[in-house]
Amino acid sequence: MEITSCFCAIAAAAFIFTVLWKLRDGSGAQYWTAALGALLGALGASLYFLVPPVVCGVALLSCSFILVCVSERVELLPAKSRVVLVTGCDSGFGHILAKRLSEMGVMVFAGVLDANGAGAQQLREPGSENLQVLQLDVTDSSQVEAAHRYICAQVADTGLWGLVNNAGVLRCPMDAELHPITDYRRCMDVNFLGAVKMCQVFLPLLRRSRGRIVNVSSLAGQVPMPMFAAYGASKAALSVFSQVIRLELSVWGVSVALIQPSGFRTNIFGNSDDVTRYKDEILAAVSPKAREDYGEAYILSLPDSLSKMSQQSAEDLSPVVDDICHALLSVCPKATYTPGQMGWLLPFIHRYCPTAMFNAVVTNLIKNTDREPAALSRS
């Protein structure tokens, strides 16, 4: 009797977990799917009083299987005649997204940090008739205003359908105490304030078309991660900002979606020249007492973790690009997208599991260096 009751309890737990998993994205289609699953689960639970517990357990497991297998039909809006502005198109998500949207028939304005760089030249290659490259540093108000004037002249009265705030910087992951204050300012300027400025400038065009804003945040903006204080804080600010304007702009018919990728391999990790520069900057900014406690060997080992993090990240960027396209063109876009491994599991552990369990998981996952601070090694 105890075994069958235990089996039924495990089946019920699995079913509840599956319903929560289906609800995690918050889209209308997911709600309908989860509601259907909840109805099936209620029917299965009612069998507990009519049939043996083992039958009830099988019924609940069957409902879980149905929920997992049900896939929502993705209905997309026509792509042609729509105009989208994407920032940070020199490489990574923005670069691939600009090309993908252009191939779908969307008119794309691709903002780049260097209009003469290799990434911008690739976007200008033959076959990209629907794509225009714009010099656009999101921290430079004059460039933002110039891009706005140019796009206004191009779209006339049709407005702008989509704004994708993708531009972002990571800098060097390190202990929050060691982060130069300039790193905090740089991350806030690009990752948060730049996106805010873009929204403020382009919202009149987006309201005209009842269009969409897609803000690319990060898993680090929702879940606290060691060594990511500057980056995570800026992305957390972007996440809260996105949730607020999603509520405010709904009355205007403008949708706001948040993309929270986990680890993907892009140029945000920098190169060998960046690693050398970070080492010099950290040593120049760290206080004498912090240098003594952490040790120069530990401090200098931190920038080397960038290449390790890059190698451990997913090379295929398509899950993120697919989600951005869905947010821009789906009839029923989601409020939040979590592409990548651990994209929804870590937030779930952080929110619902004991703090000690979360601490153990995240500190083992995010271990950027094998060295210990000097003072801890001595003790």
Do the bridges between strand 336-337 and strand 255-259 make them parallel or antiparallel, or are there none, so unpaired? parallel
Strand-by-strand arrangement of the 336-337 sheet = 131-135, 107-112, 83-86, 162-165, 212-216, 255-259, 336-337
Beta bridge partner(s), residue 330: 76
At 204, list the tokens: 């009149």
β-sheet bridge partners, residue 83: 107
Measure Cα distances from 133 to 97, 125, 157 in Å. 13, 11, 21
Q: Are 106 and 82 in contact (CB under 8 A)?
A: yes
Name the β-bridge partners of 133: 110
Cα separation values, 7 from 13, 42, 52, 56, 292, Å: 10, 17, 12, 9, 57
Give the catalytic positions in this structure.
231
d(CA 165, CA 242): 11
Distance, in Å, from the CA atom of 163 to the CA atom of 86, rounded to the nearest integer, reads 6
For residue 225, CA distances in Å to 222, 264, 308 come to 9, 16, 16
Which class for 262: exposed (0-12), middle (13-18), buried (19 or more C-beta within 10 A)? buried
Residues 131 and 128: their CA atoms lie apart, in Å, by: 5
Residues 219/340, Cβ–Cβ less than 8 Å? yes
User: 105, 97, 111, 128: which is closest to 323 by C-alpha?
Assistant: 97
Name the residue type at position 188.
M
